[in-house]
């Protein structure tokens, strides 16, 4: 009878635990000099052309960002924001924060009803959910510092794609069909994503209004978006529909160069994004904890390795919820969270044989959405410059509002704030005072664009979409390469697991963990639950012989191209 509860639990989580599919491919696309990996072949092509024509990795990244706004409208954007980590050919690191900001008229309880409860959907759907977009200012800041090709030439490919029309994939068709009702609900007039009947793979979307907006940006620079006609269109869209974004918000938006977060892991130098991303701090805490243990000896996805990662993750995500927010508005204790003394003590009570239960979720159990929203891309040029860039509207198509006349979606990034301490957001993440809503504050993010060096040379360019699961996907990818000696393609394709403190359970990819491992984890005291894909990584690994491997995730439809 001892095993009865475990077997019962297995029945609940599903018994189809045979490994299939993901493990087949050994290496990604190989190149001698340069590599581009994005979630869409047309965006990859645009980046590669920039590199072939003599542009550098930063030029390519800018062109890719604008192209993704056209060819990958679920998450590519000019109405959202993101983060970029850059390593120059000389080995200098820079991090750019072009995260959205809360509008000046935003206030702490803006998503609560009179009784102080969160109004369901208010932070995710419709105009109030939108933060002030940062992408366009971000691209101009990148260009100002590192660009070598005229900005017009980096925007033009996206304009051409918008006018020529883009054939949609089955993935696009599924998502555009899924949100038809939401598009109708929040847009007063028809938008070109609406259709009587179903969208099908191979249908074309023509983005004429977006082409017009991109032309304004090409011709008038930053002011072509944050001023003039486009700004008027954004403000009219928001203020006449209950949204908060004003002319002053757009005028004053500024992307910020921040001090990178730097750590070490088994002789590798790891560089990632500081707050308002939680990614860099969390990754460095996780790696500090992992370094103490013989992960390679335990084996990839062995019960011991999964147990250790889970115990580290539950502590780090608890820290995330309490301590992390926008450093311009809250005194984030970054130094403390990265200190060896702090982490030694933090992880000291890990029992290698038994789970430490997370606190109960008082607000009830949260269903995590099977989501790879957001998008990431990686670029390396022939000189050795590298860009790791993650960008997002938050949910697919953001708040589902398309700016009338301007042809692009606004984000729903306001949901990344903690609308009410302890109440989980869209990704099931809870937060506290550090991430409370305040005018002009940036909402906390999990986006973790990361670059890794070995012996002073570029080694990895990593990142992924996936909301709360971004940090743990990046963490596992580093362990897979460093501890388990995998190529980048293997590191990406092998099954992943995830734990985020609350809700207290290990997520694993459906049918991708064997039954014996699951039983052992349950015996250690863990709850386990299966779900769809974890992560959708587009990454680069420089092999010891100098060859550059570009790897796109088999869970998605991306493309790696190099030369």
Binding site for ligand GLY (CB under 6 A): 374, 392, 394, 413, 416, 445-447, 467
Please give the Cα distance from 301 to 303 (Å, whole number).
6
Q: Contact, 389 vs 82, CB < 8 A?
A: yes
Q: How far is the CB of 273 from ligand GLY (least distance, A)?
A: 10
Pairing mode, if any, of strands 559-562 and 35-38?
antiparallel
The secondary structure of residue 112, as a DSSP letter, is: B
Helix crossing, 279-290 with 469-482: angle to 10°? 40
Q: How far is the CB of 311 from ligand GLY (least distance, A)?
A: 23
- Complex with ligand GLY: residue 124 or 288, whichever CB lies closer: 124
Q: How far is the CB of 270 from ligand GLY (least distance, A)?
A: 19
Please give the Cα distance from 289 to 340 (Å, whole number).
9
- Complex with ligand GLY: residue 38 or 391, whichever CB lies closer: 391
- Complex with ligand GLY: residue 97 or 483, whichever CB lies closer: 97
- Complex with ligand GLY: residue 445 or 487, whichever CB lies closer: 445
Q: How far is the CB of 399 from ligand GLY (least distance, A)?
A: 12
Q: How far is the CB of 395 from ligand GLY (least distance, A)?
A: 8
Q: In terms of Cα–Cα distance, which of 481, 409, 485, 477 is closest to 448?
A: 477
- Complex with ligand GLY: residue 407 or 467, whichever CB lies closer: 467
Structure tokens at 139: 């691209």
Q: In terms of Cα–Cα distance, which of 238, 241, 224 is closest to 104?
A: 238
- Complex with ligand GLY: residue 406 or 447, whichever CB lies closer: 447
> Edge-to-edge, what's the strand order for the sheet holding 506-509?
497-498, 506-509, 528-531
Please give the Cα distance from 16 to 408 (Å, whole number).
42
Q: How far is the CB of 103 from ligand GLY (least distance, A)?
A: 17
Catalytic residue (choose from 44, 374, 517, 552): 374
The 3-state DSSP class for residue 51 equals helix
- Complex with ligand GLY: residue 326 or 413, whichever CB lies closer: 413
Q: How far is the CB of 429 from ligand GLY (least distance, A)?
A: 8
Please give the Cα distance from 333 to 285 (Å, whole number).
13
What is the dihedral angle through the alpha carbons of 463, 468, 473, 478, rounded to the nearest 10 degrees?
A: 70
Q: Contact, 275 vs 326, CB < 8 A?
A: yes
Q: Give every CB contact of residue 354 below 8 A, 6+ residues apart in sequence.
A: 524, 525
Please give the Cα distance from 425 to 403 (Å, whole number).
25
Q: Contact, 419 vs 118, CB < 8 A?
A: yes
Structure tokens at 222: 């930053």
- Complex with ligand GLY: residue 65 or 385, whichever CB lies closer: 65
Note if 477 is an active site residue. Answer: no
Structure tokens at 187: 């847009």
User: What residues does 166 pair with on adjacent strands?
Assistant: 205
Please give the Cα distance from 20 to 18 (Å, whole number).
6
Which residue, judged by CB position, is nearest to ligand GLY in the bound state?
445
Q: DSSP characters for 220-274?
A: HTTHHHHSHHHHHHHHHHHHTTT----HHHHHH---EEEPPEEEEETTEEEEEPP
Q: How far is the CB of 277 from ligand GLY (least distance, A)?
A: 7
Catalytic site positions = 374
């Amino acid at each position: 009878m001892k095993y009865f509860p475990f077997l019962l639990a297995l029945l609940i989580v599903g018994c189809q635990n045979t490994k299939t599919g993901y493990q087949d491919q050994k290496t990604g696309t190989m190149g001698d000099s340069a590599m581009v990996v994005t979630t869409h072949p047309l965006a990859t092509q645009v980046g590669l052309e920039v590199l072939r024509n003599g542009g550098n990795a930063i030029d390519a990244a800018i062109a890719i960002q604008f192209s993704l706004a056209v060819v990958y409208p679920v998450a590519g954007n000019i109405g959202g924001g993101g983060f970029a980590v850059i390593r120059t050919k000389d080995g200098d690191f820079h991090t750019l924060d072009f995260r959205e900001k809360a509008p000046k008229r935003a206030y702490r309880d803006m998503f609560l009803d009179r009784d102080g409860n969160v109004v369901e959907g208010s932070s995710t759907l419709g105009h109030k959910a939108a933060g002030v977009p940062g992408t366009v200012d971000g691209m101009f800041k990148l260009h100002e510092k590192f660009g070598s090709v005229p900005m017009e030439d980096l925007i033009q490919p996206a304009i051409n794609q918008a006018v020529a029309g883009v054939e949609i994939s089955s993935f696009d068709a599924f998502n555009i069909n899924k949100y038809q009702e939401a598009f109708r609900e929040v847009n007063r007039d028809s938008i070109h994503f609406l259709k009587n009947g179903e969208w099908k793979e191979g249908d074309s979307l023509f983005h004429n209004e977006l082409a017009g907006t991109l032309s304004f940006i090409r011709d008038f620079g930053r002011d072509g978006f944050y001023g003039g006609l486009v700004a008027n269109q954004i403000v009219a869209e928001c203020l006449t529909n209950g949204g908060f974004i004003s002319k002053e918000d757009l005028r004053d938006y500024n992307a910020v160069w921040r001090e990178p977060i730097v750590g070490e892991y088994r002789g590798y130098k790891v560089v990632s994004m500081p707050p308002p991303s939680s990614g860099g701090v969390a990754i460095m805490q996780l790696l500090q904890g992992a370094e103490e243990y013989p992960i390679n000896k335990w084996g990839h996805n062995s019960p011991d390795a999964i147990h250790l990662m889970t115990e580290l993750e539950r502590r780090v995500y608890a820290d995330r919820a309490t301590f992390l927010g926008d450093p311009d508005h809250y005194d984030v204790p970054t130094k403390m969270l990265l200190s060896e003394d702090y982490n030694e003590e933090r992880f000291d009570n890990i029992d290698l044989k038994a789970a430490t239960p997370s606190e109960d979720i008082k607000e009830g159990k949260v269903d995590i959405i099977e989501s790879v929203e957001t998008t990431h891309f990686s670029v390396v040029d022939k000189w050795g410059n590298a860009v790791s860039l993650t960008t997002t509207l938050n949910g697919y198509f953001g708040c589902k509002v398309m700016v009338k006349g301007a042809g692009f979606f606004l984000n729903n990034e306001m949901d990344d704030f903690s609308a009410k301490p302890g109440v989980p957001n869209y990704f099931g993440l809870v937060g506290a005072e550090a991430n409370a809503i305040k005018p002009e504050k940036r909402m906390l993010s999990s986006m973790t664009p990361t670059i890794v060096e070995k012996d002073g040379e570029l080694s990895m360019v990593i990142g992924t979409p996936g909301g709360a699961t971004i940090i743990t996907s990046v963490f596992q990818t580093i362990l897979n390469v460093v501890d388990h000696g995998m190529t980048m393609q293997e590191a990406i394709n092998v099954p992943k697991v995830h734990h985020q403190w609350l809700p207290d359970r290990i997520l694993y990819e459906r049918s991708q963990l064997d039954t014996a491992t699951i039983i052992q984890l349950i015996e250690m005291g863990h709850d386990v639950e299966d779900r769809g894909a974890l992560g959708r990584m587009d990454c680069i690994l420089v092999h010891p012989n100098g060859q550059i491997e570009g790897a796109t995730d088999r869970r998605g439809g991306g493309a790696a191209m190099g030369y």
